[in-house]
Amino acid sequence: MRKRRSTRFAVIVSVVLCLLLAACTSGTDSGKGDPAGKSSEPKAETGNSASPTAKASDMTAPGEFPIVTKKQEISMYTPKISWITEWENNAATKWLEKKTNIDVNFVLGPETAEEAKQKLNLMLASGSKLPDVFMKSGLSTDQIATYGSQGLFLPLNDYIEKYGTNYKKLIEKYPNLLKQITAPDGKIYALPYVAECMHCMYSQRFWINQKWLDAAGQKMPTTPDELYNVFMAFKQAKDLNGNGKQDEIPLIATIDGWNGELTGFLMNPFVPSNGKAYGWLYMDNNQVKASYMQDGWKDGLKFLKKMYDDGLIDKEAFSLKASQAKVLIGGPDGNRVGAFADGALSSVIDIGVKGARDDFVVVPPLKGASGKQITPWYEPFGSPSFVITKYAANPEVAFRLGDALATDYSRDLEWRNFFYGPEGDTWVKPEQGVKGLNGQQALWKQTFQWGTPNDKFWATTGILYASADDKGTLAVTNDGSFNQEQILWDAAVKDYKPHGASIIPPPIFYKTDEAEAIAEPKTQLTNYVEKSIMEFVTGKKDIDKDWEAYKKDIENLGFSKYVSTMQKAYDRQYK
Cβ neighbours for 205, distance < 8 A, ≥ 6 positions apart: 259, 265, 341, 342, 343, 344, 362, 491, 496
Q: Is 388 a residue whose pLDDT tops 60?
A: yes
pLDDT of residue 56: 63
pLDDT of residue 21: 33
pLDDT of residue 153: 98
User: Across all residues in the chain, what is the average pLDDT?
Assistant: 89
Whether residue 340 is contained in a domain is answered as yes
Q: Is 34 a residue whose pLDDT tops 60?
A: no
Our count of domains for the chain comes to 2
Whether residue 542 is contained in a domain is answered as no
Q: pLDDT tens across 49-78, in order?
A: 333 344 567 999 999 999 999 999 999 999
**Whether 367 and 405 share a structural domain:** no
Instruction: Please tell me which residue, 267 or 16, carries the higher pLDDT value.
Output: 267
Residue 160's pLDDT band, with cuts at 50, 70 and 90, is very high
**Whether 466 and 495 share a structural domain:** yes
**Whether 301 and 371 share a structural domain:** yes
- 160: domain CATH number? 3.40.190.10
Q: Which domain holds residue 333?
A: 206-376
Q: Is 27 a residue whose pLDDT tops 60?
A: no
Instruction: For residues 491 and 363, give the distance between their C-alpha atoms in angstroms, rounded to a whole number.
Output: 9
**Whether 229 and 351 share a structural domain:** yes
**Whether 463 and 320 share a structural domain:** no
Overall pTM > 0.85: no
**Whether 180 and 282 share a structural domain:** no
**Whether 321 and 180 share a structural domain:** no
Average pLDDT over residues 22-40: 33
Q: Is 44 a residue whose pLDDT tops 80?
A: no
pLDDT of residue 55: 59
Whether residue 548 is contained in a domain is answered as no
SS (H, E, C) 406-441: CCCCCCCHHHHHHHCCCECCCEECCCCCCEECCCCE
Instruction: For residues 24 and 87, give the distance between their C-alpha atoms in angstroms, rounded to a whole number.
Output: 13
- Inter-residue long-range contacts of 536-544, CB under 8 Å, 24+ positions, other chains counted: 536/301, 536/304, 536/305, 537/262, 537/301, 537/304, 537/305, 537/308, 537/313, 537/318, 538/305, 538/308, 538/318, 539/305, 539/308, 539/309, 543/298, 543/301, 543/302, 543/305
Instruction: For residues 255 and 319, give the distance between their C-alpha atoms in angstroms, rounded to a whole number.
Output: 6
Q: Pick the last residue of a domain from 376, 403, 425.
A: 376
Share of the chain above pLDDT 70, in %: 90
Q: pLDDT tens across 308-340, in order?
A: 999 999 999 999 999 999 999 998 889 999 999
Whether residue 534 is contained in a domain is answered as no
